[in-house]
Amino acid sequence: MHKRGEYETGNKRILWKLILNFLLIGFFLGILFIYWFGIFNKTNFGSKGNSNFNPSNLTTRMQFYENMRYADSRISYKIEDCPLQKENDIKFAFEILENKTPLEFYSVDKNEEISVTCDSHVKLDGGLFIAGEGGPTNITKSGNFNLISKGKILLLRDSECKTPNIAIHELLHALGFEHSPNPRNIMYNISNCQQEIGEDTINLLNVLYSIPSRPDLVLENVSALVHGRYVDANLSIRNNGLINAKKSSVEFYVDDEYVKSFEVRELAPGYGISIELTNIQTSDLNINKLRFILNYPDEELDKKNNEIELKNID
């Protein structure tokens, strides 16, 4: 009986050892499974740089409207009611962008393009700011551009960063840029000192301001009716450029023969005029083509759109 009891006790010990070994093996296999399949591992995927890249929306718009810029790369500003620190911040922001882009900022006493203030009691065009405390306040559609003529910056918050991130953020708003979805980008809507200006922002500024500040007069909506030796014509002329267009003239030809010319007044960017001509006498009864040539004395963005030819379709 004694030996039988010892035998049963030994079997129980072996059984418990086996159970314990199975539990340990299961435990280690579980740890291996967790490690292998990464249940608790988290990896953030995103842009290694500081662009506006957003995985959920690859067509993220960088500016409030496409191709927003001022008329010239030299942009005037005026600073009012700002303590010395904030005045230094915005001037430092100007300097940083000047070193990275073709932009140049210069101070004026009046008629500034960018107004900078630090007074929270100032009423800013009825709160017209598009984004937070900075943005364009006057925009004109001109051809492929959305032309900014006025921008405002309200510096309320103090910056504790070596780089004036808040001032740069608001300045870029005034240049037409909206918020970025990338937390590393200086245009993210919550500021921190590690953020940088996106390379895509600098690239876009370089592209936009590499285009010279010129007008671009365009002949549009030209039509004509011939009755006998007389011609009635309608045409529009628009300035799709970046600056005012001086006075110009339009020459009218019938079958390559000069008939007459007429003067066109000065046109601001984005503005145009319609012209109606009636009973223009010609010397030809069988007219095959009419030609209108817009003559501008200086350079334009594109002179290829200054001529239109109409042919007889009967």
Where along the chain do its domains lie? 68-208, 217-311
Check whether domain 217-311 has CATH 2.60.40.10, yes or no: yes
Q: Which residues touch 270 (CB under 8 Å, ≥6 apart)?
A: 140, 141, 142, 143, 147, 238, 239, 240
| Exposure string over 51-90, b if 16+ CB within 10 A, otherwise e | bbbeeeeeebebbbeebbbbbebebbbebeebeeebbebb
Work out the number of other CB atoms within 10 angstroms of the CB of residue 244.
13
Only one residue has tokens 């079997």, namely: 11
Only one residue has tokens 């790369």, namely: 73
Count CA atoms within 13 Å of residue 271 on its CB side: 10
Cross-strand pairs, 235: 275
**How far, CA to CA in Å, does 179 sit from each of 9, 53, 130, 190?**
75, 12, 11, 10
What are the per-10-residue average pLDDT scores of the chain (314 residues)? 54 68 68 52 45 44 92 97 92 97 97 90 45 80 94 86 92 95 92 92 96 95 87 93 95 90 94 91 82 94 92 72
pTM to 2 decimals? 0.76
The whole-number pLDDT of residue 50 equals 59
| Exposure string over 102-115, b if 16+ CB within 10 A, otherwise e | ebebeeeeeebbbb
**85-89: Cβ within 8 A, 24+ apart:** 85/158, 86/118, 86/155, 86/158, 86/167, 88/164, 89/155, 89/159, 89/164, 89/166, 89/167
Domain 68-208 top-level CATH class: alpha beta
Work out the number of other CB atoms within 10 angstroms of the CB of residue 146.
19
Say how far apart CA 150 and CA 130 lie, in whole Å. Answer: 13
Say how far apart CA 53 and CA 198 lie, in whole Å. Answer: 10
Say how far apart CA 74 and CA 102 lie, in whole Å. Answer: 9
Contact at 8 Å (CB) between 280 and 260?
yes
